[in-house]
Amino acid sequence: MRRLNEYLRSTYGCKVYKLSLSAKVTCPNRDGKIDTRGCIFCSAGGSGDFAANRVKPIAEQIEEAKSRVRAKVKDGKYIAYFQSFTNTYGDVEYLREIFSEAIKPDDIVALSIGTRPDCLSDEVLEMLQELNEIKPVWVELGLQTIHEETAKYIRRGYPLSVYDEAVARLKKIGVQIIVHVILGLPGETVFEMKETVDYVVRSGADGIKLQLLHVLKGTDLCSDYEAGKFEVMDFDTYVELVSDIAVSLPDDIVVHRLTGDGPKRLLVAPLWSGDKKRVLNAVNKAIEEKESWLGTNIRDA
C-alpha cells in the first residue's frame, strides 16, 4: 500500500499538510439544477465542516488554516484543498482567480479541488490545465459507489458513465485524479464495496479516499437511520474491510484516506468512529499483519 504521507515526502522532500479552504460555491444538488436536498449523507457544510471561514478572502483562509497545524509544522509545505461543496461549479473566471491566489505562496506545493464528475465543462478543464502548468493540480471526484441502486438512494445525481467520461477527460489534461469511496452505504455488501474499489483502480485513478459512512444530524440519512431503515458498520467489520482493501491496492494508487471523522457535534453514528486515533491504529495494525502474511507466503511460494 502506498500511503499519502510517503508519496508526499518522496515527491517534495518534507512533510506536507493540507489546508482546507472554502471557495464559497454551492452544488447542483442543492441549488435546484439537479435537486435541492443535497446528497442524503451531506451536512449543511457540504462535507467541509473543518474548512477555514468561507467569508474570509483566500489569503486569510490560508493563514487561518496554517495556524491550526503550525505546532506540527517544521519546515513543511502545504496543499491548498478546496473541499466543501462542488468547487468547479461556478463562474470560471471567479474560480480561476481564487485558485490562482491559493497557489501563489511559495510554500503551497499543489492545489486539490473537490468536485463532482458532472461539473467539468470544457472551460473548467481548460482552467485546470492552465493551473496544472503552474503547480500540480489534484481533482477529487465524489464517486462513492458504482452501484446504481445505491447511487439513486444517496441522491448522487449522475450515472456511472459520467464518472468514466470525467476520468478520461481529466487524464487528457494531465491532472491527478483522486476518487472518494464511501464504505458502509445502506444495502451494500462487503463484496459490492470491494467492487467499487476495484472499479476505481481499473478506471485509472491516481489516488483513492476510503471514507466510513457517517450519520450526521440534520441529514436525511439521519432520519432513515433513526427510523431503523439501516444499520451502520461495526468497528471490527470496518477494520477488516479497510485492511483487506488496502493490501489489495496496486502500488501506483496512492491511499489518501483510510477513514474519516465527522464533527463530534453532528455525529450520530457510528459513535466509535469519533475516536479516529483508535480506528487508525487498529487499521494500520491489521494492514501490517496482512502485509507480513502476504510477504511470507510469497517468499515461501
Domains along the chain with CATH numbers: 2-300 (3.20.20.70)
Reply yes or no: is the peptide bond before residue 136 cis, omega within 30 of 0: no
Contact assessment for residue 120 and residue 169, using Cβ atoms and an 8 Å cutoff: yes
- Residues 47, 84 contacting (CB under 8 angstroms): yes
The share of the chain scoring above pLDDT 70, in percent, equals 94
d(CA 106, CA 80): 12
**Is pLDDT larger for residue 293 or for residue 78?**
78
C-alpha dihedral sign at 84, 43, 257, 201: negative
Vertex 22: Cα angle to 107 and 135 (nearest 5) = 35
- Res 301 pLDDT > 50: no
Res. 72 pLDDT band, cuts 50 70 90: confident
Please classify residue 93 by burial: count the beta carbons closer than 10 Å to its beta carbon, then call 0-12 exposed, 13-18 middle and 19+ buried: exposed
Amino acid 54: pLDDT: 63
pLDDT digits (tens, 9 = 90+) for 133-162: 999 999 999 999 999 999 999 999 999 999
Please name every residue paired with 218 in a beta bridge, in sequence order, or none if there are none.
none
Which residues does residue 178 pair with via DSSP β-bridges, in sequence order? 140, 207
| Predicted local distance difference test score (pLDDT) of residue 50 | 54
Amino acid 51: pLDDT: 56
Amino acid letter at 44?
A: A
Cα separation of 65 and 60, whole Å? 9
Transcribe 17-83 into DSSP letters. Answer: EEEEE------TTTSSSS-SS--TT--TTTT-TTSPPTTS-HHHHHHHHHHHHTTT-SS-EEEEEE-
Bridge partners, 115 (sequence order): 141
194-232 per-position pLDDT tens digit: 999 999 999 999 999 999 999 999 999 999 999 999 999
Rounded CA separation 215/205 (Å): 27
> Which residue pairs from 129-133 have beta carbons closer than 8 angstroms and sit at least 24 positions apart in sequence?
129/173, 129/174, 129/175, 130/96, 131/96, 131/99, 131/100, 131/103, 132/173, 132/174, 132/175
Name the amino acid, one letter, at 214: H
Angle between helices 190-203 and 160-173 (to 10 degrees): 30
Return the beta strands (E) in 96-240 as ranges: 108-115, 137-144, 176-183, 207-212, 215-216
pLDDT score, position 74: 75
The CA angle 83-267-259, to the nearest 5 degrees, is: 55
Q: How confident is the model over 233-271, as pLDDT tens digits?
A: 999 999 999 999 999 999 999 999 999 888 899 999 999
pLDDT at position 47: 55
DSSP 105-120: STTEEEEEEEE-TT--
- Strand (E) or helix (H) holding 10: helix 4-12
